[in-house]
């Protein structure tokens, strides 16, 4: 039964993605043809995509704090490809993603046309290009979400933030927003650490199918109340790391209280 549920959700996810992207692409073509601005159109369909995919995959999003409005630069911890679905539901944004996604069938092409910024983490020199691309993309219609840990994790701890990718906000002394994301699965599902967080050597397809078996997933996003500015990128990375770590501890405490209430 779990496998059938996962296959059905996977089919609906692919179908919804293709349909929504087609709607976006048709409108985008005509807007470009007549020299019109495309940012609002892009935001509309990406928000729709995030909303529908979360619904199909039984993801309920809980938000604390106020999400930033464009233009913005936001950093977050990184647990899974699911993070992108959740943040697209909540924000008008682009992402800095690993370059391997460009090679994924269909998804890679879609991501490029939707202005996702790719970084080759095996080449240190690519950071300079990415910082320039981030500066170019932040505008009145969208911000950029960055995962400075550089990889996904199990969610047990926040990994150290890489300072090099923060060159753009540091050099311009730009205020940086921050957020923390976490997941919780239903009582009859596998723990989120194993079924939602994508870390280790599990291939994407196998992990997604396992993730889709979950009956319910609660995504918790907590946005920081303030912004952080620092012209030194290393100090900025440390400041943001501390702030996101504090948000994680705060969310963990709330989860423990809620769990205790349920048990009682």
Percent of the chain with pLDDT over 90: 73
In a domain, 8, yes or no: no
Please give the model's pTM, rounded to 2 decimal places: 0.92
Domain containing residue 231: 58-263
Q: How many domains does the chain have?
A: 1
In a domain, 19, yes or no: no
* Tens digits of residue pLDDT in 34-56: 999 999 999 999 999 999 999 99
CA atoms within 13 Å, Cβ hemisphere of 144? 27
The stretch 243-257 carries a mean pLDDT of 82
Res 260 pLDDT > 90: no
Q: What angle do CA 235, 98, 117 make, to 5 degrees?
A: 80
In a domain, 214, yes or no: yes
pLDDT category of residue 97 using cuts at 50, 70 and 90: confident
In a domain, 27, yes or no: no
In a domain, 50, yes or no: no
The stretch 92-117 carries a mean pLDDT of 83
Res 256 pLDDT > 70: no
- pLDDT on residue 109: 82
* Tens digits of residue pLDDT in 199-209: 988 899 999 99
- 107 or 212, greater pLDDT: 212
The stretch 78-106 carries a mean pLDDT of 89
In a domain, 213, yes or no: yes
pLDDT category of residue 254 using cuts at 50, 70 and 90: low
In a domain, 32, yes or no: no
- pLDDT on residue 259: 52
Find, among 119, 115, 123, 172, the residue nearest to 148 by Cα: 119
Res 185 pLDDT > 90: yes
In a domain, 13, yes or no: no
């Amino acid at each position: 039964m779990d496998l059938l549920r996962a296959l059905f959700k996977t089919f609906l996810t692919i179908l919804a993605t293709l349909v929504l992207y087609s709607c976006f692409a048709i409108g985008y073509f005509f807007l470009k043809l007549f020299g019109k601005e495309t940012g609002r159109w892009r935001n509309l369909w990406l928000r729709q995509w995030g909303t529908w995919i979360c619904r199909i995959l039984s993801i309920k999003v809980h938000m604390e704090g106020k999400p930033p409005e464009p233009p913005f630069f936001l950093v977050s911890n990184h647990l899974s490809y699911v993070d992108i679905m959740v943040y697209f539901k909540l924000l008008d944004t682009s992402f800095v993603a690993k370059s391997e996604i460009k090679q994924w069938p269909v998804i890679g092409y879609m991501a490029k046309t939707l202005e996702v910024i790719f970084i080759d983490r095996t080449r240190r020199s690519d950071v300079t290009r990415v910082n320039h691309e981030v500066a170019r993309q932040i505008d009145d219609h969208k911000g950029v979400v960055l995962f400075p840990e550089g990889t996904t994790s199990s969610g047990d701890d926040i990994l150290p933030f890489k300072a090099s990718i923060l060159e753009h906000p540091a050099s311009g002394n730009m205020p940086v927003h921050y957020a923390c994301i976490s997941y919780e699965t239903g009582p009859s599902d596998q723990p989120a650490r194993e079924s939602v967080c994508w870390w280790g050597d599990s291939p994407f397809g196998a992990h997604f199918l396992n993730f889709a078996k979950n009956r319910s997933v609660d995504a918790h996003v907590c946005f920081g109340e303030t912004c952080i500015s620092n012209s030194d990128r290393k100090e900025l990375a440390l400041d943001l790391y501390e702030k996101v770590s504090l948000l994680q501890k705060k969310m963990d405490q709330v989860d423990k209280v809620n769990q205790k209430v349920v048990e009682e």
